[in-house]
């Protein structure tokens, strides 16, 4: 596979299930803060160790479609704890999430 110097710095999920998605990703160890920029919608934002911003916004026009995410987490800190290795989980919107637990 070819490599690139580009990196993703922002990922925003739009959902009708904001709190359920926040709870799902929080259980994997992401730490969210409630934010609102000006008159924009209240949303949840987490900054990952590499500086990537992961946000969960309420849907306005349509939810984020099919997206497959991959995250690496401390399995012992997940709720419930995850054994080391690869796990494929499904978030509240039906997105597949590849979780590599260490």
Q: According to the 3-state scheme, what is the secondary structure of the chain?
A: CCCCCCCCCEEEEEECCHHHHHHHHHHCCCCCEEECCCCCCCEEEEECCCCCEEEEEECCCCCCCCCCEEEEECHHHCCCCCCCEEEEEECCCCCEEEEEEC
Which one is predicted more confidently, 56 or 4?
56
Q: Tell me what pLDDT residue 64 has.
A: 82
**Per the structure block, which two tokens stand in for 41?**
């919608």
Q: Tell me what pLDDT residue 60 has.
A: 82
- Mind listing the pLDDT tens digit for each residue in 32-69? 999 999 999 999 999 999 999 999 999 988 878 888 99
Beta strands 53-58; 69-73: pairing state: unpaired
Look up the pTM and report it: 0.90
Domains of the chain: 10-101 (3.10.180.10)
- Mind listing the pLDDT tens digit for each residue in 66-76? 889 999 999 99
Average pLDDT over residues 75-101: 95
Average of per-residue pLDDT values in the chain:
93
| pLDDT for residue 5 is more than 80 | no
């Amino acid at each position: 596979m070819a490599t690139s110097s580009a990196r993703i710095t922002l990922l925003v999920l739009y959902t009708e299930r904001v709190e359920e998605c926040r709870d799902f990703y929080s259980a994997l160890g992401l730490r969210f803060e409630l934010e609102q920029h000006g008159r924009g919608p209240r949303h949840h934002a987490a900054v990952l160790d590499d500086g990537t911003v992961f946000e969960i916004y309420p849907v306005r026009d349509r939810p984020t479609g099919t997206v497959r995410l991959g995250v690496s987490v401390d399995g012992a800190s997940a709720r419930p704890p995850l054994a080391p290795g690869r796990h494929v989980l499904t978030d509240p919107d039906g997105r597949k999430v590849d979780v590599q637990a260490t």
